[in-house]
Amino acid sequence: MEQSQYLNGYTSATVVAATSNFIMVREEPFTHTYRTVIRLREQGALKLCFGFSNTVDSTWEQGTIAWAGREGGSWRIEAACIADGGRDQSCNYNEGTLVHLTFGGTGTRDVLPGEQFYSDPVEICLPDGHDLMFSWTLSAGSGASIPYNTEQMLVTAYDAPGFRAAQPNEDGFRKSDNLLVLPSWIGYEKDTVQELVFFGDSITQGVRTAQDGYDYWVAKIANQLGHSCGVWNLGSGWARAYDAATDTAWLGKAKQGKDKIVLCLGVNDIDIGCRTAEQLMTDLQDIVHHLKNHNPDVHIILCTVPPFNFVEEREQIWRTVNARIRGLSLSGVDRVFDIAEVLSQPAPHEHLLQRQYMSSEFDPHPNGLAGTRIAEAFLRWY
């Protein structure tokens, strides 16, 4: 998404990925409120701004409903507000802290298919250790409407029918499941010495780590780098390199990375995407070319494909792709971070994730311990 001139001096306020990999499709018109509790990278007096993109970022499953670049429908922001969400991830907020968002001075906003836009800047003061509550009421007609993220919930969220954006308590709300409905970008005014974008799939997003734990590798890297380094997490569950190679909304967000972009893709291309090694390498090369053509000075860090317990043909594709990535065969890649080396079992079983890093007995998504080890290795290497 293109950044407005007045947003110079802003950086991502959270490590939570708010990418979209699904879209609401309803038989009837609806009005519904979505409320999310988010830890920001800093507290205190903050000037925030929110960016919105009415386009699906990446493909879900086989792409029958949601695919990269699918435009959202027409819908309406009836009200949007923020407040001090406290420390307990409850649906309530601290009274007296509610601040309404505006869009060109107006509290409502009609959203068009494929549109990208920003809120007006808004100020709030959060006590140390307190979360931000973001709450908005949206309405839409029947059919496809609002893009959102349908992966496992990494933060606590609530939803309720009707106009409840400013409601101070939990009456009528339920805990959301696989339903993260947030702006595409939450930014705050901050001078930084460096900006990093992490661009990948569910492993980058942090899927299967603890809810509200901020236990994934991108979050831990951001924490160690400190507030002087901006970090934007663009991980999206079930995303593929070929999604990004289409050069639509998702990659458009990554193009905002003015300093360094970390690419960690390939698992879903090899798995559900059934891509050959050559197809995957071509898609990765296209991504790098798009990013470098947009900004020749941006520094591209390409990760090897993490182990995901592939066997047979998929294992061979994984091995071939990683050998080529390690061999710096892609033009425009500045450095390679070998994330697979951190996570893999010793040879000849390097295609398998170390068991201590498994999120469950049968799920090779890296857990919180893996997040720690990746972050440690990345920061030593970085």
Q: Is 142 left (phi over 0), alpha (psi -120 to 50) or beta?
A: beta
Question: Is 377 within a domain?
Answer: yes
Question: Is 16 within a domain?
Answer: yes
Let me know whether 16 and 97 are in one domain. yes
**Burial (CB count within 10 angstroms: exposed 0-12, middle 13-18, buried 19+), residue 88:** exposed
Confidence class for position 8, pLDDT limits 50, 70, 90: confident
Say which residues have a Cβ less than 8 Å from residue 358's Cβ, sequence separation at least 6. Answer: 364, 365, 367
Percent of the chain at pLDDT > 70 equals: 98
Question: Is 4 within a domain?
Answer: no
Give the 3-state DSSP-derived string for 55-97, with helices as H, strands as E and coil as C: ECCCCCCCCCCCCCCCECCCEEEEEEEEEEEECCCCCCCCCCC
pLDDT value of residue 19: 99
Coil, helix or strand for 202? helix
Question: Is 3 within a domain?
Answer: no
Regarding beta strands 358-360 and 335-337, do their DSSP bridges make them parallel or antiparallel, or are they unpaired?
Answer: unpaired
Let me know whether 279 and 176 are in one domain. no
The pair of structure tokens assigned to 305 is: 């494909």
Question: Is 247 within a domain?
Answer: yes
Let me know whether 177 and 297 are in one domain. no
Let me know whether 54 and 133 are in one domain. yes
Q: What is the CATH number of the domain that holds 315?
A: 3.40.50.1110
pLDDT value of residue 313: 98
Question: Is 208 within 8 Å of 26 (Cβ atoms)?
Answer: no
Let me know whether 337 and 274 are in one domain. yes
Let me know whether 212 and 333 are in one domain. yes
Say which residues have a Cβ less than 8 Å from residue 347's Cβ, sequence separation at least 6. Answer: none
pLDDT value of residue 304: 99
| Domain closes at, from 185, 216, 249 | 185
Question: Is 1 within a domain?
Answer: no
| Domain of residue 55, residue span | 10-185
134: nearest Cα among 113, 95, 165: 165
Let me know whether 160 and 136 are in one domain. yes
- Tokens 């906003």 correspond to 109
Beta-ladder partners of 36: 134, 157
Q: What angle do CA 106, 166, 211 make, to 5 degrees?
A: 115
Let me know whether 123 and 168 are in one domain. yes
Average pLDDT along the chain: 97
Number of separate domains in the chain? 2
Question: Is 369 within a domain?
Answer: yes
In whole angstroms, what is the distance from residue 76 CA to residue 71 CA? 15
Let me know whether 198 and 306 are in one domain. yes
pLDDT value of residue 4: 56
Question: Is 2 within a domain?
Answer: no
pLDDT over 70 (residue 166): yes
| Domain closes at, from 137, 152, 185 | 185
Asked if the bond preceding 366 is cis, omega within 30° of 0, the reply is no
pLDDT over 70 (residue 2): no
Any alpha helices (H) in the chain, and if so which ranges?
202-205, 217-225, 241-245, 249-254, 267-270, 277-294, 312-326, 339-343, 368-381
Confidence class for position 302, pLDDT limits 50, 70, 90: very high
pLDDT over 80 (residue 88): yes
Asked if the bond preceding 348 is cis, omega within 30° of 0, the reply is yes
The CA-atom distances, in angstroms, between 65 and each of 144, 147, 148, 275 are 9, 11, 12, 20
pLDDT digits (tens, 9 = 90+) for 356-376: 999 999 999 999 999 999 999
Q: What are phi and psi of 53, to 5 degrees?
A: -135, 115
Let me know whether 169 and 298 are in one domain. no
In whole angstroms, what is the distance from residue 29 CA to residue 11 CA? 36
**Single pTM value for the model:** 0.97
Let me know whether 206 and 353 are in one domain. yes
pLDDT value of residue 64: 97
Q: What are phi and psi of 243, to 5 degrees?
A: -65, -50
Let me know whether 176 and 294 are in one domain. no
Question: Is 80 within 8 Å of 135 (Cβ atoms)?
Answer: yes
| Domain closes at, from 155, 185, 215 | 185
Confidence class for position 95, pLDDT limits 50, 70, 90: confident
